Amino acid sequence: MSEDRVGPIFSALSDPNRRYVVEVLAERGEATATELASELPVTRQAVSKHLSALEDAGLVEGSRAGREVRYRLTPANLGAAVSWIERVGEQWDARLAALRRHLGGN
């Protein structure tokens, strides 16, 4: 079995707050943990933990700007997850088409 590259990505994205952080960073380009915490019903410390999980999965990257760390999305790793979803979707499409043919449908 090959190395599971998408597992950590799906794990990181399983939390709705993390998905929100990804959406915000995709829209704005970058933000600090403090900025993100002001928009979420969680503490700044919780946002920092979410950012750490996203960083571990390779989905965000932080860079120090003075006393703050600005986070930005690093979407390249999302490509692996998207490819996996597409591959599984294609397999199901093929199976459903075969079932339709077997049942005499279009």
Domain ranges of the chain: 7-75
Percent of the chain with pLDDT over 70: 95
Tell me, which fold does domain 7-75 have in CATH? Answer: Arc Repressor Mutant, subunit A (1.10.10)
List Cα–Cα distances, 7 to 13, 48, 63, 77, in angstroms. Answer: 10, 21, 25, 11
- State pTM to two decimals: 0.77
pLDDT at residue 91 tops 90: no
Among 21, 49, 54, 55, residue whose Cα is nearest residue 36: 21
* pLDDT tens, residue by residue, 56-73: 999 999 999 899 999 999
d(CA 76, CA 46): 25
Q: Is-contact 83 2, C-beta < 8 A?
A: no
Strand partners, 73: 60
